[in-house]
Amino acid sequence: MARVWDAFLTAQDKASLKTRPHQVWGFGERPALVLIDLYRWVFGDRRQPLLEAMKEWPGSCGEAAWDALPHLQRLLGASRAAGIPVVHVTGLHPLDSGVIGWAESPGRSRINTESDPAMAERNRRRFDIVDEVAPLPGEVVLRKSAPSGFFGTLLMAQLNALHVDAIILVGESTSGCVRASCVDGRAYRFKMTVVEECVFDRHQAPHAINLFDMHEKYADVLGVDEVVAHLGSLPRAQTAERIRSL
Amino acid sequence: MARVWDAFLTAQDKASLKTRPHQVWGFGERPALVLIDLYRWVFGDRRQPLLEAMKEWPGSCGEAAWDALPHLQRLLGASRAAGIPVVHVTGLHPLDSGVIGWAESPGRSRINTESDPAMAERNRRRFDIVDEVAPLPGEVVLRKSAPSGFFGTLLMAQLNALHVDAIILVGESTSGCVRASCVDGRAYRFKMTVVEECVFDRHQAPHAINLFDMHEKYADVLGVDEVVAHLGSLPRAQTAERIRSL
Amino acid sequence: MARVWDAFLTAQDKASLKTRPHQVWGFGERPALVLIDLYRWVFGDRRQPLLEAMKEWPGSCGEAAWDALPHLQRLLGASRAAGIPVVHVTGLHPLDSGVIGWAESPGRSRINTESDPAMAERNRRRFDIVDEVAPLPGEVVLRKSAPSGFFGTLLMAQLNALHVDAIILVGESTSGCVRASCVDGRAYRFKMTVVEECVFDRHQAPHAINLFDMHEKYADVLGVDEVVAHLGSLPRAQTAERIRSL
Amino acid sequence: MARVWDAFLTAQDKASLKTRPHQVWGFGERPALVLIDLYRWVFGDRRQPLLEAMKEWPGSCGEAAWDALPHLQRLLGASRAAGIPVVHVTGLHPLDSGVIGWAESPGRSRINTESDPAMAERNRRRFDIVDEVAPLPGEVVLRKSAPSGFFGTLLMAQLNALHVDAIILVGESTSGCVRASCVDGRAYRFKMTVVEECVFDRHQAPHAINLFDMHEKYADVLGVDEVVAHLGSLPRAQTAERIRSL
């Protein structure tokens, strides 16, 4: 099967990969859907080509974000229908916490969000999860201030409380917070599935190569059709019973 | 010097303690003040004896909480005057996060906050930091859902960002979240100071013995006079310079 | 039922406890036995009264350690018979890692293990798990350098890999590493059971009060008879099947 | 300046990068050198081309590993001369711990190290740090069982004990454990420097793109000349004094 990363690998990369079969992790028995950073800052308020969008929304991922949305909505719907836990992770706003952000440093210039009122308004909305995939009442929302959804959050505790053994991972960016969350999820020994159409990135080569890295080392990178089909096969009653009995 | 825990130790405890000198950690060079769980749920809205207070506020610490307040205000003022970092830690409300609380379990009955509107109103305010020691704009506020202020929060990252090497620890309860935060702080190798008049607990024996445990193993348990005097001796300019240069 | 901590609580403590029923956590479905710090440093090489033992073994817990041994052996046997995971946690020796110990600080004098060859020899053996409860081949052994068995170890990852949902916790000291591990275990949302006859401490009042604290906040503190009976009731085949399928 | 990742980026990637200046983190004031996974398993016993080497050493990184060695030796020498802390991180062997490895799963075939005695012997040596960069007595050696050097280890505690504020990161693989350690280091708010000639990977495209990712998001990816020059400029006496005073 052709994969998005094939075009970026070198001849030697491909030769070494041929020397052994690819390993598959498989789905677990009690999966959770974890959505990373589906917030306004990377979408902006409307679909625009990347370089246009970045003028107003410097963190934009351009059309890649909007292309992922229908797939995300489909997967989220299937997860809710299957009754598996859904965890939304977004940013902890410095204005709410006072915490020094992980991307801040004196040598690094920040976006000036004070002199430009429109930018200040966008900045205040930066970590709002977009309406299309907004949490339902009762769904868990965690706020982080590091690349990984596990770092400095209750994610591990919450998944353990729910007896989750596998994570279906989506969101952005492929080469940033999704990648970091995937590594930590595997470090904690969850079975990890990354849904290819449901992750996106501003940069094309890093998107492809980080999918490769995750598929080689930490996760199964699968298409949304396959994951939705799997969710449809889960025994719904058992799932509901499990959560009720916690 | 007589200590609050003396009355609770056994003769054998005292005999074994006499066989070696008590060890002192000392203050560090770049301390931060960390305040644990100074929220409405343990104060209630007014000073009342413990058993009275628990009728309306089941999590109350009674008069012990109110007795600590002037000492906490004095220490907080001295910390701000010294220019050291101040970090407030309080609870992450289940209504805001959906996270299953660390004290929840199907075998444990919860306070019914739905059938009683007054209790529901108090429950909504449970993690509001009380006005007397409220955060100033710019001070860090972290929200936790575990006993320790480090667990599932940005506390370690924030202290590392500020190059803190010592923690002055206050709040409640002595035998719960203060103790847990003290253990984690020492595990991370911070020099720990617990300020005796600025920690409190619903239960008297656990208050005393947890002070003993922390003093024996993890921290110096000091009086507020000594800590305030130390804060007054810190080189203010150096502190300000350090934070500016981050 | 009379409990060991009753004698240490004050009248007010007892009054406030009477205002609400004690909450019970219950056993989980997939428990693991976690043994904390059953190493030579707290036993010494033979049973001696505490003050005698401390002359050669300054970390000794005296006869309390040796009294716990038969109960520990019984519980360990029952756990192995039930086929539940067994995890041994002991110290990471500074001589093996170079790590600065959590109890070390310039203001704190250390045992001089260089000038006294016999002390140096005992120090080298300090973290050896005693023969009576030694790990079997294939049982997990983790090495820590902090009070909690979770801090800086693979304990959470290993328990998650095995789909454990409950911890049966034993070892020493009640007021130190057992307490710290219990708090972290609950923070991660495991159901915690502390086995009273299988934990011990140098100090009597802290032993009793830390049992109270754990029983009130984080765990069920149960007798070894009850825990062994529960282990005997577990469906052995299911347990074995689960581990095989990982 | 031409960078190794330029050849792998797409036209759109380059266009979006041009819209804003690259941000620089800068060196900290109290750096430590952290060496990741410089063990036998990726070197083998002699220099061989990748595809040859993988026949005997399935985890080999081929000539890329051996090419990095003189640079690693130079940097390690300069770090020791500067008196900065040096931390070696390697694998925690399953034979020593019983822990289920992060790369193990029932759907993934493992190297059969039992039927082939030569492979079994190589497997026993897999996490031995190679002689050329072996730890000196007193240098810290941490053992991990996850991609990141921080996960389940004492790394954060040890760096905090030494008041480190910056990490000079080297080792392998660029796209695996180096990348994971870099992300966690930044999450904890260390200033991160990755030394380009001192990291390596089996795969060429992932090596380049992971350097790009780290340089864009988490670290400065610098040449070994620049880092060695910086180490030479550090005030040695101050460093020594700091460690003595801990």
Q: What tens digit of pLDDT does each residue of C164-179 get?
A: 999 999 999 999 999 9
**Which of B203-212, C148-157, C217-226, D227-236 is least confident?**
D227-236
CA distance A66 to D13: 18
Give the minimum alpha-carbon distance from D212 to chain B in angstroms, rounded to a whole number: 24
What is the CB-side half-sphere exposure of residue D66 using CA atoms within 13 A?
Answer: 12
Average pLDDT over residues B153-174: 98
Share of chain B above pLDDT 70, in %: 91
**Which of A50-64, B155-169, C79-93, D228-242 is least confident?**
D228-242
Which helix (H) or strand (E) segment holds residue A221: the answer is strand A220-222
pLDDT at C109 over 70: no
What band does A177 get if pLDDT is binned at 50, 70 and 90? very high
Q: What six digits make up the tokens of B149?
A: 């202020």
Q: Is D49 helix (H, G, I), strand (E, B) or coil?
A: coil
The answer to whether the Cβ–Cβ distance between D161 and B187 falls below 8 Å is: no
What pLDDT was estimated at residue D104?
83
As a whole number, the mean pLDDT across chain A is 93
Give the minimum alpha-carbon distance from D246 to chain C in angstroms, rounded to a whole number: 6
Residues of chain A contacting C, Cβ within 8 Å? 156-158, 160-161, 163, 165, 187-190
Residues of chain C contacting D, Cβ within 8 Å? 92, 96-100, 102, 105-106, 135, 138-142, 145-146, 151-158, 161-162, 245-246
Give the minimum alpha-carbon distance from C142 to chain D in angstroms, rounded to a whole number: 6
Residues of D noted as catalytic: 177
The answer to whether the Cβ–Cβ distance between A100 and B161 falls below 8 Å is: yes
Higher pLDDT: C125 or C111? It is: C125
Q: What six digits make up the tokens of B96?
A: 């805001």
Cα-atom radius of gyration of chain D, to the nearest Å? 18
Q: Is A167 helix (H, G, I), strand (E, B) or coil?
A: strand
Average pLDDT over residues D115-131: 95
Residue among C61, C177, C182, C198 flagged as catalytic: C177
Q: Is A111 helix (H, G, I), strand (E, B) or coil?
A: coil
pLDDT at B114 over 90: no
Residue of C158, C160, C161 with shortest CB distance to A160:
C160
The 8 Å CB, 24+ separation contacts for A221-226 are: A221/A3, A221/A193, A221/A194, A221/A196, A222/A193, A222/A194, A222/A195, A222/A196, A223/A195, A223/A196, A223/A197, A224/A71, A224/A74, A224/A75, A224/A195, A224/A196, A224/A197, A224/A198
Per DSSP, the residues of B165-214 read -EEEEEEE-IIIIIHHHHHHHHHTT-EEEEEEEEEE-S-HHHHHHHHHHH
Chain C residues whose beta carbon lies within 8 Å of the beta carbon of residue B107: 23-26
Q: What six digits make up the tokens of A102?
A: 């992980």
Residue among B61, B177, B182, B198 flagged as catalytic: B177
What pLDDT was estimated at residue A78?
98
pLDDT at C239 over 80: no
The answer to whether the Cβ–Cβ distance between B154 and A246 falls below 8 Å is: no
pLDDT at D81 over 90: yes
What pLDDT was estimated at residue C12?
97
CA distance C196 to C60: 19
Chains touching chain B at 3 or more Cβ pairs under 8 angstroms? Answer: A, C, D
Nearest CA in chain D to C150: D152
Give the minimum alpha-carbon distance from C187 to chain B in angstroms, rounded to a whole number: 5
Q: Is B36 helix (H, G, I), strand (E, B) or coil?
A: strand
The answer to whether the Cβ–Cβ distance between D189 and B157 falls below 8 Å is: yes
Residue of A158, A161, A189 with shortest CB distance to C161:
A189
Residue of D98, D146, D154 with shortest CB distance to C99:
D154
pLDDT at A33 over 80: yes
The answer to whether the Cβ–Cβ distance between B183 and C109 falls below 8 Å is: no
Mutate which: B48, B184, B190, B220, vs C, most C CBs within 10 A? B184
What pLDDT was estimated at residue A213?
98
Give the minimum alpha-carbon distance from D157 to chain B in angstroms, rounded to a whole number: 4
Summarised one tens digit per residue, pLDDT across range D136-145 is 999 999 999 9
Q: What is the pTM of this model?
A: 0.96
Residue D89 φ/ψ, nearest 5 degrees = -120, 130
Summarised one tens digit per residue, pLDDT across range C16-36 is 999 989 999 999 999 999 999
Is residue B177 annotated as a catalytic residue, yes or no? yes
Summarised one tens digit per residue, pLDDT across range A179-192 is 999 999 999 999 99
Share of chain A above pLDDT 90, in %: 87
The answer to whether the Cβ–Cβ distance between B189 and D160 falls below 8 Å is: yes
Average pLDDT over residues D91-97: 93
Nearest to A33 by CA among A115, A149, A188, A207: A149
Nearest CA in chain B to C174: B213
What pLDDT was estimated at residue C63?
98
What pLDDT was estimated at residue D106?
60
Average pLDDT over residues C107-131: 84
Summarised one tens digit per residue, pLDDT across range B210-222 is 999 999 999 999 9
Strand order in the sheet with D220-222: D140-144, D86-91, D31-36, D166-172, D191-200, D220-222
Average pLDDT over residues A213-227: 98
Residues of chain D contacting B, Cβ within 8 Å? 156-158, 160-161, 163, 165, 187-190
Chain A residues whose beta carbon lies within 8 Å of the beta carbon of residue C160: 160, 165, 188-190
pLDDT at C243 over 70: no
Instruction: Give the number of A-C residue pairs with CB atoms closer than 8 Å.
Output: 25
Residue of A13, A106, A204 with shortest CB distance to D203:
A13
Nearest CA in chain C to A186: C157
Q: Is C216 helix (H, G, I), strand (E, B) or coil?
A: helix
Nearest CA in chain D to C140: D98
Chains touching chain C at 3 or more Cβ pairs under 8 angstroms? Answer: A, B, D
As a whole number, the mean pLDDT across chain C is 93
Average pLDDT over residues D65-84: 98
What pLDDT was estimated at residue A245?
52
Chain D residues whose beta carbon lies within 8 Å of the beta carbon of residue B160: 160, 165, 188-190
Q: What is the ipTM, given to two decimal places?
A: 0.95
What pLDDT was estimated at residue A115?
81
Nearest CA in chain B to C101: B189
The answer to whether the Cβ–Cβ distance between C160 and A187 falls below 8 Å is: no
Nearest CA in chain C to D107: C246
Average pLDDT over residues A6-20: 96
Could you count the other beta carbons within 10 Å of the beta carbon of residue C185? 26
As a whole number, the mean pLDDT across chain B is 93
Instruction: Give the number of B-C residue pairs with CB atoms closer than 8 Å.
Output: 147
Residues of chain C contacting A, Cβ within 8 Å? 156-158, 160-161, 163, 165, 187-190
Share of chain D above pLDDT 90, in %: 87
What pLDDT was estimated at residue A1?
80
**Which of C13-27, C30-44, C109-123, D209-223 is least confident?**
C109-123
Burial of A151: CB neighbours in 10 Å, binned 0-12, 13-18, 19+:
buried
Residue of C24, C109, C187 with shortest CB distance to B23:
C109
Summarised one tens digit per residue, pLDDT across range B144-163 is 999 999 999 999 999 999 99
What pLDDT was estimated at residue B229?
98
Summarised one tens digit per residue, pLDDT across range A80-135 is 999 999 999 999 999 889 998 999 876 555 566 668 999 999 999 999 999 999 99
Give the minimum alpha-carbon distance from A160 to chain C in angstroms, rounded to a whole number: 6
What pLDDT was estimated at residue A60?
97
